Amino acid sequence: MRKSTLWIGALLLAPVIYNLDAIAGQWKFKQMCSKEGGPKFYAPVEKDVGWLVEGHDQEDMALPFVFGNVAFVRFQDKQDQWHDVRVDGWVGANQRKFVFSPVAPDHPVRYKYRKFWERMADERFSKFHLHVVDLSNDQIVASYTKISYAWTKPERVLLAAPTDTSCWNQQGDFDQFFKNIFDLGSK
């Protein structure tokens, strides 16, 4: 009877031991999400000023306009040409009409908008960051961090099924970060 109890115990513990890294990773993921994830505001964000973007795609150029109350976006395209871009209404139901003009040196930019991925030492974790940086003091005034986690490596899962998850309240975080950034600064 004693030998069978040991075998049953070993059979019950085997899945736990096999997945111990996933269990520890899930705990780490929850801790990271509660401390670092979501929108954060460090200082008020001024309305109706110019913003600079780091990316060179049309999508990068368009993102700051989601905030509303952005006077213009300074943008360097893939051909290394600089533009000051403004919004002039809508082309369609969900597409803004952008007007590109040469850079106006007498119109300074106040904020820089950055988006980037950060790989962690544990390759199952990654962070996606959005930063709004005040160019007058090079300080981050608002940030959004989305943390992603793969429970386990795909080769350890039946049919390599994805086990990715992230801490992101899509509608709540979108509303708080993009729609209310000017109202929530320094909170």
pTM: 0.77
In tens digits, what is the pLDDT along the chain, a chain of 187 residues? 577 777 776 666 666 666 666 667 778 888 888 888 888 888 889 999 999 998 888 888 998 998 888 999 999 999 999 999 999 887 767 778 899 999 998 999 999 999 998 887 777 788 889 999 999 999 999 998 888 887 666 555 555 555 677 776 666 777 778 777 887 654 3
Which tokens go with 126? 């990654």
Give the domain ranges of the chain: 2-50+105-184
44 touches 186 (CB < 8 A): yes
Closest by CA to 49, choosing from 28, 71, 29, is 71
